[in-house]
Amino acid sequence: MKNTHNRFSTRKRVLSFKFAFNGIKKLFATQHNSRIHLAVTIFVIIAGFLFNISKVEWLLVVFAIGFVFSAELFNSALESIVDLVSPEYQKKAEDAKDFAAGAVLITAIISAIIGMIIFIPRLIILLN
C-alpha cells in the first residue's frame, strides 16, 4: 500500500497559502496591537520613500517589519493554544503568555531603534 499522505500536491500547497493568509487576516481582525504596528509600518514606508533611504536601510526596515509581525503571529498562536489547553487561570499559562508578549515587545523596541538610527539623522538635517 502506497503512502499518499506525504505526496506533493499543488492543491495542498495552495491551501497552505490560504491558511497562512487567513492567519494574517485574523491577526489584524483580533489583535489591536497588530493594527498599531500596521499604522507604524505604513508611516515608516512613506518616510522611507520621502527620505530616499538606501537599499541597505530598506533591507533593515523590511526585516524589522517582518520581525515584528512574525512575533505578533507567534504570540497570537501561543495565546490561542494556551487558552485552549488552559481555559481556567493558571500561573504557568499566564507566564507563557507574558513571555510571548515580552518577545513581541523586544522585537518592537529593536525595530524602533533601527528606525531611529535610520530616520533621526535625516530629521535633524531636515529641521536645520
**Tens digits of pLDDT across the chain (128 residues):** 566 567 888 999 999 999 999 999 999 999 999 999 999 999 999 999 999 999 999 999 999 999 999 999 999 999 999 999 999 999 999 999 999 999 999 999 999 999 999 999 999 999 99
What does pTM read for this prediction?
Answer: 0.87
Instruction: Please give the span between the terminal C-alpha atoms of the chain, in angstroms, as a whole number.
Output: 76
Active-site option among 57, 72, 79, 88:
72
The answer to whether 88 is a known catalytic residue is no
* Nearest residue to 30 (alpha-carbon basis) of 85, 61, 72: 72
Domains defined for the chain, CATH in brackets = 10-127 (1.10.287.3610)
Task: Look up cell 512575533; give the residue.
Answer: 71
**By three-state DSSP, how is residue 25 classified?**
helix
Q: How many CB atoms lie within 10 A of CB 50?
A: 11
